[in-house]
Structure 1
Amino acid sequence: MSITDRIPALRGTGSRRAVDKVAELRDENRRLLTITHRAGDHVALLERDLAEARTAQGEAEELVVQLQADKGDLTDEVQALRAELANRDAVTVPPMERDTSNGADQATAPMGINVRSLREAADAGLLSPVIRISAKGASADPGHPPAT
């Protein structure tokens, strides 16, 4: 609120009021032009950012396509290597011709290591008795009550 609004005697007559109104409108016009220019600058910055984002998106999409192609190539290569490994390590020798001189490659029964189920081993008497060990004592007899 200006001083002329507070003191009515200082207000001009008709022609002075028109000059004041014109000055007021020019100030408002300048203010609106400044806002418009700032908005235009802001829009230009946003358009530039949008163009950069679209460029980055295009590059990312190209990279995704390239990586998917590389993944497909690597998958094919891994499958080929696995097939080659399986063919290389396949056991194709009949059991009667197999070399079991290596200790880690011993044959199972009836020639080498005795492989039986627990029931068969128990029936053959190959299992030793169970020994129960506790803090109160040990017993070779599973039916023996623990010491108290």
Structure 2
Amino acid sequence: MTIADLIPALRPTGAHRAVDEVARLRGQLASADDFFESQNKLITDLEGDVRKWKSRAEIAERTVGQLEAVVRLRDQQIEDLARKVDIGVKAEHAVTETQPFAVLPLHQSPLADPASPAHVPSWADDTETQPLRAVGPAA
């Protein structure tokens, strides 16, 4: 046994060892090509997914904008209705304050003048009235 047998680096590689190394490297190259091909397919798939998600995000942003416009319109309508209710309440209060007396028909009013030609006595029945005939040339 020689010292070259004990140290593997000192062993002769022989003539056939280079062929084995080339085959091994070609195998690694083929597996690397397969790996890069699968990685390129993944990148293409991911780019497609990114485009899909970007279009969905744009649709979502438009939808959010439309919903915000609807909410603004609803808030404006609520404010308008609250203002109208407030005005209605104030108007009703003003009417009740300015008209504290009962409204009577003209012929029952204590202010009616019995001598006035428009005066209708309280004993008169409105069902007996006759329509007035037109005076003058017919139209």
TM bucket (normalised to shorter chain) is: 0.5 to 0.7
Greater helix proportion = 2
**Residue deviations 1:46-70, cap 9 Å, x none?**
1112111111111111011111111
Call closer, same or farther: CA 1:25–1:67 in 2, change over 3 Å: same
The answer to whether the aligner puts 1:94 opposite 2:91 as a matched pair is no
Q: Work out the CA distance in 2 between the residues paired with 1:98 and 1:45.
A: 84
The answer to whether the aligner puts 1:13 opposite 2:10 as a matched pair is no
- In structure 2, the residue matched to 1:69 is 69
Deviation, structure 1 residue 31: 0.8
The answer to whether the aligner puts 1:48 opposite 2:48 as a matched pair is yes
Q: Work out the CA distance in 2 between the residues paired with 1:50 and 1:98.
A: 77
TM-score w.r.t. the length of structure 1 is 0.53
Deviation, structure 1 residue 33: 0.5
Deviation, structure 1 residue 41: 1.3
RMSD between aligned alpha carbons?
Answer: 2.4
Gaps of 5+ in 1: 1-7, 100-148
Deviation, structure 1 residue 89: 2.3
The answer to whether the aligner puts 1:35 opposite 2:57 as a matched pair is no
SS at match of 2:76: helix
Gaps of 5+ in 2: 1-7, 103-139
TM-score w.r.t. the length of structure 2 is 0.56
Structure possessing the higher radius of gyration over alpha carbons? 2
Q: Work out the CA distance in 2 between the residues paired with 1:96 and 1:83.
A: 24
- In structure 1, the residue matched to 2:79 is 79
Deviation, structure 1 residue 13: 3.0
Deviation, structure 1 residue 24: 0.7
Greater strand proportion = 1
Indicate the structure whose relative CO is greater, using CA pairs within 8 Å and at least 6 residues apart.
2
**Residue deviations 1:64-111, cap 9 Å, x none?**
111111111111111111112122222112288189xxxxxxxxxxxx
- In structure 2, the residue matched to 1:58 is 58
> Size of the alignment, in residue pairs?
89
Q: Work out the CA distance in 2 between the residues paired with 1:83 and 1:22.
A: 89
One-letter amino acid of the counterpart of residue 97, structure 2: P
